[in-house]
Structure 1
């Protein structure tokens, strides 16, 4: 089970809460070559560990993001101090060229399978990082350095000089991490095949059934679903809406269909609750398995429930649909967001509405979910009468 992170009351408490590796005093960044000199600092951080800990504290409410960001910060600090003998606050653009090469081919001791997965002596790599993973790692670190520059801790961001090497074709590539209509129906059918013989099995079944439908019909992120409260559903002009606070604190409204509200009423009735949520009701939309604990789930818990559902359905499909089973084993909560957007686009929903539903800043991002034109082009092309070689010669 993944560690559960409890949100501290403030960033100072959060900073003390986050574990990071100890560094020797000579390499703690207190006198780093890239430290900001003069000016008014926006943080009291005295060394690199304190500065990085403050940055991580900004993400303490998003456990999945926090773990990912902490992993990249730890990798960089250990590589910098162990390989270069430099603190993080002395790194240059040339150092990051070497680091990117290291990510593509980490030395054997960094990926030693004999090392444990947890603890101070754990291995930090399973092997070389793929190009996409390297871009993601450096993007996260670029965000870290931007933050430390804005905080007045560093003088500059060496990663700001890095030229993006992502080809245009990759930037415009369609989103492919979604379930097609047939596989989505297999997921729904698979959940209905879950055992329900004992009260505990029935509780698990009802929660899985509701959570999967809730994520699909609202296209919420895992963190948004975990924090959603019953009172966030509100009725306006005879229609239900779900109020959502997403990434960066951006608020939005998502249409709630009659089907979604019927599924919600069923789920609440199973736990002895009124079918219609009350205005201002603080009870979580997704309850603990027994329905008694009114604390919201963590985004990690939502993620693990969905992964378990996909794995169980994949096991059921393995014999008859191995390709579908493989897809489900790779799928996660974010695939349901992509699936919802793709199915809406395939059904002809106006792209502007999908953009608002997903709360995308740019409609170009939403356009990556348009697959219907590609499907039609493929069908028209492959369905055309086959030309004979003789016809071509004439």
Structure 2
């Protein structure tokens, strides 16, 4: 296909600017995303672009150890982000099957302003700083020796790679509770391009050892500097112990989580009222340990040990200023600091290998870990209700008893059988 398609298909006369640097130059995903939103002000016009970028960076960090895999995944997700934001002005959370079909059509015939004539780096070093390379383009044309012209043509192999990578990408976003569906999997007529798994994707979680270090480290910090870390300790415990979503802790258009949402029934049992996805209200069981964590946090705040009926004190307050936390970004920073501190402590004690996952863990892993632990001994129907799962099939994904038993039965088989 010629490089110059119908100009009317171009979303604008300007070329997209690169978003995602090499893994070693990204560092902390939250700080990188924040800097990129400043560098590319046009992205701030797209509602949800910042959260899209945060989740994408967390996804890519899982592949940072293998440069070839990282680069191929980065290429495909960056193309999708550029198209969703610049062409459709949509967040990843809004994309549906038809949008993905339109994106595939776009990839097969992108506008000339999106096509380069050679591979170039996204960023380059200038006076000690990483700056955008103006020659970079999301797509690259190949030089045809026979016609002596540059042509862009998306091969079947490349199309298959798009399906495979983006399906994995949306699986991750779905597991992180960031998107509701995987729109790639809904494209049935192109299912031949998708990998078919005869197994269940593992739940991304932290280990019990890692959680012990996170909890101990955060408790030590809270004892030493309560003003900075008592709130962190409470947040970590409520995310793990009640498997809340990060959005369920902050004030937004749905309302403000307050202390009065902790409620006691006639049997003296405590519950937490939560407004979850789809504006659905659920009651989450409060364990005895969680009740003690609540008392400790309220004592630090100078409140009574337990909430009063209708109490309007914000559940998670701002450290500076008054009122409730209103941005999930603040909670992400808080949790990331706890992960980083636990990682450094584990590494200092000679457990760097055991700590590695904390470098790529996200807030949502705490929810996954809490659910995964509870389904080992609680009725799954109870876990389903506390987690706010729409169906039992979602809860069943956390039950790995069958795989545990399967591995145990194979663990001691010999490569050289005994006679």
TM-score interval, normalised by the smaller of the two chains: 0.5 to 0.7
**Kept after mapping to 2: 8 A contact 1:241/1:254:** yes
Q: Where does residue 64 of structure 1 map in the other structure?
A: 51
Residue 160 of structure 1: how far off its partner (Å): 5.7
Provide the rounded CA distance (Å) in 2 between the counterparts of 1:300 and 1:187.
20
Matches within 5 A, 1:31-42: none
Q: Where does residue 373 of structure 1 map in the other structure?
A: 402
Residue 316 of structure 1: how far off its partner (Å): 0.9
Q: Where does residue 336 of structure 1 map in the other structure?
A: 366
Q: Where does residue 166 of structure 2 map in the other structure?
A: 134
Residue 289 of structure 1: how far off its partner (Å): 2.6
Within the candidate set 353, 357, 376, 1:327 is matched to 357
Q: Where does residue 318 of structure 2 map in the other structure?
A: 288
Q: Where does residue 34 of structure 1 map in the other structure?
A: none
Provide the rounded CA distance (Å) in 2 between the counterparts of 1:278 and 1:118.
54
Are residues 94 and 224 of structure 1, via their aligned partners in 2, closer, same or farther at CA, if it must alter by over 3 Å?
same
Provide the rounded CA distance (Å) in 1 between the counterparts of 2:189 and 2:404.
37
Q: Where does residue 313 of structure 1 map in the other structure?
A: 342
Q: Where does residue 232 of structure 1 map in the other structure?
A: 261
CA RMSD of aligned residues (A): 4.5
Within the candidate set 271, 277, 282, 2:301 is matched to 271
Q: What secondary structure does 1:193 align onto?
A: helix
Matches within 5 A, 1:248-263: 248-263=278-293
Q: Where does residue 345 of structure 1 map in the other structure?
A: 375
Within the candidate set 200, 209, 212, 1:172 is matched to 200
Q: Where does residue 242 of structure 2 map in the other structure?
A: 218
Q: What secondary structure does 1:242 align onto?
A: strand
TM-score (norm 1): 0.63
Residue 382 of structure 1: how far off its partner (Å): 2.5
Q: Where does residue 333 of structure 2 map in the other structure?
A: 304
Q: What secondary structure does 2:397 align onto?
A: helix
Matches within 5 A, 1:3-42: none
Provide the rounded CA distance (Å) in 2 between the counterparts of 1:106 and 1:334.
41
Aligned residues: 305
Q: For each residue in 1:2-37, what CA deviation from the matched residue of structure 2 results, as whole angstroms up to 9, or x when unmatched? A: xxxxxxxxxxxxxxxxxxxxxx999569xxxxxxxx
Q: For each residue in 1:251-279, what CA deviation from the matched residue of structure 2 results, as whole angstroms up to 9, or x when unmatched? A: 21211112111111110111111121122
Within the candidate set 109, 112, 132, 2:123 is matched to 112
Q: Where does residue 211 of structure 2 map in the other structure?
A: 184
Q: What secondary structure does 1:318 align onto?
A: helix
Within the candidate set 226, 229, 243, 1:202 is matched to 226
**Kept after mapping to 1: 8 A contact 2:222/2:230:** no
**Kept after mapping to 1: 8 A contact 2:260/2:307:** yes
Q: What secondary structure does 1:94 align onto?
A: helix
Are residues 297 and 130 of structure 1, via their aligned partners in 2, closer, same or farther at CA, if it must alter by over 3 Å?
farther
Q: What secondary structure does 2:304 align onto?
A: coil
TM-score (norm 2): 0.60
Residue 186 of structure 1: how far off its partner (Å): 1.7
Provide the rounded CA distance (Å) in 2 between the counterparts of 1:387 and 1:372.
26
Q: For each residue in 1:150-197, what CA deviation from the matched residue of structure 2 results, as whole angstroms up to 9, or x when unmatched? A: xxxxxxxxx96763555442772231x112222211211222332755
Q: Where does residue 46 of structure 1 map in the other structure?
A: none
Provide the rounded CA distance (Å) in 2 between the counterparts of 1:123 and 1:170.
39
Residue 366 of structure 1: how far off its partner (Å): 1.5
Residue 80 of structure 1: how far off its partner (Å): 6.4
Residue 312 of structure 1: how far off its partner (Å): 0.9
Provide the rounded CA distance (Å) in 1 between the counterparts of 2:324 and 2:117.
42
**Kept after mapping to 2: 8 A contact 1:93/1:161:** no
**Kept after mapping to 1: 8 A contact 2:122/2:132:** no
Residue 217 of structure 1: how far off its partner (Å): 0.9
**Kept after mapping to 1: 8 A contact 2:123/2:132:** no
Are residue 76 (structure 1) and residue 83 (structure 2) matched? yes
Are residues 93 and 189 of structure 1, via their aligned partners in 2, closer, same or farther at CA, if it must alter by over 3 Å?
closer
